[in-house]
Structure 1
């Protein structure tokens, strides 16, 4: 009998699939590895949250760990994982050197979630009221940290084809270190649309997004100040419901029922909320990665109006399930048209089915990923031999991280 393979996932937070796309992404990764016969342990130094998933129901072992503590070393030695998956580059920085020191043979995988340096550089350019240039990435400190983390790992999971292009062409990362893994969903056909609420049974516009994520807060501000007044002027009966986990007081202050602008807070079931809406509005002005809210809209048969940033790398060469528009006045006009034109609305639904079929089928990616991980388990030595820059960064960069961590650990004991 083959020995059970062990996967250790070190999480930035405990997964909350109903709060964020990142939580849903983590559930997909757990599903892929579980189906490939891995025994999975999920460890995190984060505090428990009210909305975290019950990992035990998934057959996943939950382990709370400490930052800057030798107790993690003991835990690693006892578990002796075959594969370690880091949830974002900050986690690899914190724990990667300990994994190398205690379990040098373990395959190290980084799930980037999205390119943080791209999101940060775009946000900075937006706040400085200038056009983002690709060269902006090279001056970001977070880019140096993130790219170093990618180089140190055996494999990095990249969620966006646009970000794959940036890593290969701008940062000159070898394709052998990267694996394109978008959001993964079940098959959907046009027949499935018949099981969803009909055009006439839906009402209102909706936006949904975790408010701990800065692009979401900025999107709601933009909706309130620049787009919603134009929609209400030409469509007085219009209602927008804004849902999202962790709304702050500044978000709640935008609640204005007299103007049809409702801040609804956390959605108990985001899927049901989106299914009942007629149109999703997502005028996202900066960010990176893929937008889980827009893929969810497609699955719910709910057309959307978004920006080029929102639709980036999400639909290949296929027509969008609604409209993509940057100008706020045109955005408002398209939002009204999509809401009122039933034939256009139904065609947009069909566009979504085609996008899901071409871009997000689980079977197109999951088997390839597990086969790649299995090959790395068999011959990691040869793979690492060809990643000289990664070994160089391990040698130098980890020394500073390691000694800082050990200094904090010693300080905490005193």
Structure 2
């Protein structure tokens, strides 16, 4: 049985964010298809969750950052960033990580090492046996400019991102558009689109008039739902006055108080499937950001009629076959929602289409990993 080491600055489980979900799901997939998977968590100041220890057991390794050295390094980084305006590819690489991984590799002889995020690619500049694989999660070139935000946790130039990519044997991208860009930065590289797999859990059609949105508290998610509430939802209410917008997740912690009786904030959700049982129609109005459109795939996996902003359909698996409705304008977005609210047959038809689509996606992803790690 082949042994794989997954290296991550993000602990999973628990699954509370998109990055945690991606890592958790591909680790589950690798275990399911017969690989022996180990997890190295790079610990910062966060507490280690008991879920992490319980899930991984004796296959969990923990590398504790040297906080004193990190503080000195961070001061230098901030000074340089004020001059250049951008990060260096190795700015966030933990001091001493390479030595730690070398010892693990000598003891365990892993067949492949998968790092999460290109910021850890310095690990692959050392002499390590086995395949060197990057799960990219995101494109980090000109990140602040592309998101139109003042701050982001790291912001690279294309040259710096290319430097990190070119240290890896294989780069795993989570959407097609980013694969194209990575191929431009690393023409000789093995760039593979793997998306992220989602557990299919088709739910019974409720027939009610709830619209569902489950999200974290990122400013990009806040901007998206505010767009929907101000531009789209009033148009829906004109046709369907009994409709209810149900919002769940940590986004509720940062949304301003909403007086509209047709909008309900549930707060943090313990069980994702329980939230999605509340209706048949899900929306993804996010119009900014990069990476995988997790909320789009997630809703489809539960068999929901899924209506999205065009941005939230970019780079998805087989877009011409994806059973999503795209609202290019507030009027078109509202029309798709109203049509779904008034047509139970449409809900059932698209529920079946959504599940078939996710099942096909999961099979594609499994084949990709088998080929990469064979």
Q: TM-score, normalised by structure 2?
A: 0.79
Give me the CA root mean square deviation: 3.0
Q: Hey, what does 1:182 align to over in structure 2? A: 195
**Within 1, Cα distance between the matches of 2:30 and 2:336?**
42
| Distance across 2 between alignment mates of 1:52 and 1:207 | 29
> How far apart are residue 183 of structure 1 and its match?
1.6
- Secondary structure (helix, strand or coil) at the match of 2:166 reads helix
Structure 1 residues 85-96: aligned runs within 5 Å: 85-92=114-121, 96=122
Q: 1:43 aligns with which of 37, 41, 44?
A: 41
Query: Which of structures 1 and 2 has the larger relative contact order (alpha carbons within 8 angstroms, sep 6+)?
Result: 1
Over 3 Å counting, the alpha-carbon distance change for 1:290 and 1:39 in structure 2 is: closer
Q: Contact 1:219–1:284 (CA<8 Å) still a contact in 2?
A: yes
CA 1:71–1:357: 2 relative to 1, 3 Å: closer
- What is the match of residue 387 of structure 1? none
Whether the 8 Å CA contact 1:116–1:288 is kept in 2: the answer is no
CA, structure 1 residues 142+205, in 2 after alignment: closer, same or farther (shift >3 Å)?
farther
CA distance in 1, matches of 2:156, 2:96: 30
Whether contact under 8 Å (2:39, 2:56) holds in the other structure is no
- State the partner residue of 1:328: 330
Deviations 1:208-252 (A, max 9, x none): 1221x3321211221222222222233222211111236544x2x
- Structure 2 residue runs without a partner (length 5+): 71-93
Match of 1:408 in 2: none
1:267 maps onto 2:269 in alignment:
yes
Deviations 1:147-202 (A, max 9, x none): 3211111111111122222333x44623x42122122245x6xxx85xx22242x4
Aligned to 2:343: 341
- Pair 1:373 & 2:370 matched: no
Change in Cα spacing, 1:70 to 1:316, as seen in structure 2 (3 Å) is closer
Q: 1:235 to 1:51 in 2, by over 3 A?
A: farther
Task: Specify the alignment match of 2:133 in structure 1.
Answer: 109
Deviations 1:279-338 (A, max 9, x none): 112112122232222212112111111022111232515454341012112212221221
Higher normalized helix content (fraction of residues) = 1
SS at match of 2:241: coil
TM-score by length of 1: 0.72
In 1, distance between residues paired with 2:273 and 2:258?
22
Q: Mean Cα displacement is larger for which, 110-119 or 343-352?
A: 110-119
Structure 1 spans left out of the alignment, 5+ residues: 129-139, 375-414
Count residues in correspondence: 338
Residues in 1 aligned to 2:350 and 2:47: alpha-carbon distance in whole angstroms: 37
